[in-house]
Each structure stands twice: as C-alpha cells, then as structure tokens.
Amino acid sequence: MPRVQRTNGLFKRTETLSLGSCQFFFFIRRNFFVISFIYNRCESDIHTLGCLFNSFRPRILIDVSKIDMTTTILGFKISMPIMVAPTAMQKMAHPEGEYATARAASAAGTIMTLSSWATSSVEEVASTGPGIRFFQLYVYKNRKVVEQLVRRAERAGFKAIALTVDTPRLGRRESDIKNRFTLPPNLTLKNFEGLDLGKMDEVSIHQILSSIMANDSGLASYVAGQIDRTLSWKDVQWLQTITSMPILVKGVITGEDARIAIQAGAAGIIVSNHGARQLDYVPATISALEEVVKATQGRIPVFLDGGVRRGTDVFKALALGASGIFIGRPVVFSLAAEGEAGVRKVLQMLRDEFELTMALSGCRSLKEITRNHITTEWDTPRPSARL
C-alpha cells in the first residue's frame, strides 16, 4: 500500500507507515462526493469524532520476549482483539467490496461484521471461505423481513447478531443534502434480494436510496420509512426467540442502558456513537467506555467501536475494560486504496503497533493490561509512591 511523499513539488509513492496515508490515498483515488456521503460524513457540526488522548504508565524490566495477543470472543478464538466493524456499501470504495474485506479479516484471524446494507449478500461473503463473521441488523417495521435476514445469516454460518439500536431516526446528514448523492445503478443492497419484502416492495430499496429530495437525503427517506421507531428492549428479547445466535447491542454509551441490556439478555455490548454521525455532542466512544464497563460489572463483554487509528488506541480501550475493539473507517480507507491487500495491511499495521505498545508497557498478554497502565483526564491525581 502506498504512502505519499512530496519531492520537488511532486508526489511519489513510498511505503505506508500509518493510517493517515491510507486515508489520503482513499480521498485522491475515489470520488470525493461518494466518500463524504457514505464513509466520512458526520453530524451537523462534527463535534464527537475525537479520540481521548490518555497518558501511558508503562512498567519496566519485564521479560517481553513473547507477546500473546490472542483472545476469545463469544467462544471464538481470534488472533488479536481487533475486529472489523460493519460499514455499508463497500463496493462503492472498491469493486470487490465486502469480498475483499472478508478475505482479509479471515487471513488476519479475526472477526468481520457484515452490514445488512452491504453490496454483497451473506451467502456471497460466506462463499469467500472460512472465517468468523457477525451480522449487523436494523429492526424494520415489517418483522418478517427481520426474521428472513436473521435466518439467512444463520444459514450462511454467521455467528452473532450486532443489533444497531441508536438509529430510530437518521441524524441530519448535511453532506448527504449538499452532495445530492445517487447510488450507482450497478449496485444494490444484496441482502434484500430474494426476500418477501411485503410493503417494503412498493418502492424498491434502490429507488428509495437513489431519490434525493430538496431538503433531505435518499438514505434518510429510506430509514424514515422502514426503520421501526417503536424499537424497544422488548425487541432485543424477541430477537432471542427467533435465533440461537448471541445478540450484541450496538450503540450503548451510558451505564444505565448497559444495565438494561444485561436484563434484556444481551450477550455483549458495543459502545458506539455510529461513527459520530447520529447525535452531535455525544461523547467519543473512548470517553463513554469506562462508564459502560463499570455498569456491566464483568457480566458480559464490552467492545469499543470508533475512533481507533493506532495500536495505542487499542491498548487504551483494553486498559479501560474493553474486551476488544472494532474498526470501520480504517478498513474502508485501506479497501479503497488497495483492495484486499490494503485491508490486510491495515490490520497487520494495527496488530504490529498494538504488540509494540504491549511490549513497551510491560504486558505479555491481554490479561496483564490493566487500568493502572493509563491515566485519563478525569482521573484524580495519584499519590506519590513512597520508597
């Protein structure tokens, strides 16, 4: 994957050293308006993207010649606590889209989460070969559509449901309105093909997504018409009656909701603010993480989604109590830049950075990463150690 370096006023390609160069190539190689519409947009004034900058408290004189990053998520062993978050319509970034991401995640020995709004179906992703995969789900007014999606994912070998719960309505996406995006005619939401859509079939999903109204976006029109605004904790319990797959509740950022999620039977929580694209001024996920972790009291795993750009960010999240993290934009940036090879590279890059952070902090396994390894802006001053 290339990195850009300026020499005598010209750009030349060199080795990629960070995700920043992946993002740069993503922008110069893909249509800017498509990018801003689907992958890099934020809510009205873009105030919640930032990741909290914590300080490290490394321990020294520890034998770190061997570092073990393996972990177990919902009973599945993976090579590292870095997983792939759901991002919609990946074929807009690269022709191979979700196929490439699935192969890269499998090669890295980690989990891929497929968006229900993917441009490749659950069956197509499963056909790429073995791998541990989760399926992201919205709940629609027509519950038969939900049942069909869940059962298709289950038959295709997916292992868990990531239920998105922070989108009863779509946030005001001003980039959508400004750019008047139109979904390319050769792309469609593959998971909805072949379903009995009932009332959803009155206007095709593709038409809804492609229609841009004067003061709204096509995606907002679709969500407003089909996502169920009455979604409640009872629906989390209902999902458990139609599938044996564990349910991860994605979109929790408060301790109060974390406790309710446990009562509702959730198998895990994904702390997420929807990429800072829903409600502005919500906290960055790293800032909300510890509150949620404390509320669960270790009864179910908690994961972080969003804001991770370095292996050091992975370490911070685990030190604050996360069982693992999910990355979204870094995958899309690298997918657009170099396809499957790009996604492989970005996963390896984060793995290498995380391993180095563990070694320099004196941690030989994930269980040795503790809260004592970092300080945050809300910590009380530590008393000086007495000799």
pLDDT by position in tens, the chain (length 387): 444 443 333 334 445 566 665 554 554 455 544 455 445 544 433 434 445 556 899 999 999 999 999 999 999 999 999 999 999 889 999 999 999 999 999 999 999 999 998 999 999 999 999 999 999 999 988 899 899 999 999 999 999 999 999 887 666 666 666 766 666 778 888 898 877 766 554 445 554 444 433 334 444 455 446 778 888 999 999 999 999 999 999 999 999 999 999 999 999 999 998 766 667 778 888 999 999 999 999 999 999 999 899 999 999 999 999 999 999 999 999 999 999 999 999 999 999 999 999 999 999 999 999 999 999 887 877 666 565
> Rounded to the nearest 10 degrees, how much is the dihedral formed by the CA atoms of 52, 78, 89, 243?
-110
What sign results for the dihedral spanned by CA atoms 358, 362, 364, 367? negative
Residue 202 lies in a domain: yes
324 and 302 in contact (C-beta within 8 Å)? no
Binding-site residues from annotation for FMN: 86-88, 115, 136, 164, 250, 272, 305-309, 328-329
Predicted pLDDT of residue 43: 44
Q: Is 10 exposed, middle or buried (0-12, 13-18, 19+ CB in 10 A)?
A: exposed
Residue 191 lies in a domain: yes
Residue 255 lies in a domain: yes
- Answer yes or no: do 292 and 366 share one domain: yes
Please choose, from the candidates 371, 367, 374, the residue with its C-alpha nearest in 3D space to the C-alpha of residue 323: 367
- Answer yes or no: do 270 and 368 share one domain: yes
- Answer yes or no: do 213 and 267 share one domain: no
- Answer yes or no: do 225 and 241 share one domain: no
- Answer yes or no: do 238 and 208 share one domain: no
Domain of residue 206: give its range.
179-230
Measured distance CA(109)–CA(103) in Å, rounded: 10
Helices 255-263 and 233-242: angle between axes, nearest 10 degrees: 40
- Answer yes or no: do 193 and 72 share one domain: no
Residue 130 lies in a domain: no
292 and 268 in contact (C-beta within 8 Å)? no
183 and 33 in contact (C-beta within 8 Å)? no
- Answer yes or no: do 245 and 293 share one domain: yes
Predicted pLDDT of residue 176: 62
Predicted pLDDT of residue 48: 42
Tokens of 226: 């089909």
- Answer yes or no: do 191 and 291 share one domain: no
Predicted pLDDT of residue 226: 77
- Answer yes or no: do 371 and 257 share one domain: yes
The number of distinct structural domains making up the chain is 2
CB-side neighbour CA atoms (13 Å) of 162 = 29
- Answer yes or no: do 188 and 293 share one domain: no
pTM for the model: 0.84
Distances 235 to 139, 326, 345, 354 between C-alpha atoms, Å: 8, 24, 39, 37
- Answer yes or no: do 221 and 241 share one domain: no
Residue 222 lies in a domain: yes
Q: Is 191 exposed, middle or buried (0-12, 13-18, 19+ CB in 10 A)?
A: buried
Predicted pLDDT of residue 214: 36
179 and 84 in contact (C-beta within 8 Å)? no
Residue 242 lies in a domain: yes
Examine the fold and report which residue of 207, 230, 253 is the final residue of a domain before the chain moves on: 230
- Answer yes or no: do 268 and 367 share one domain: yes
Residue 34 lies in a domain: no
Residue 33 lies in a domain: no
Tokens of 1: 């994957």
Neighbours of 284 (CB within 10 A): 18
Which positions are annotated as active-site residues? 274
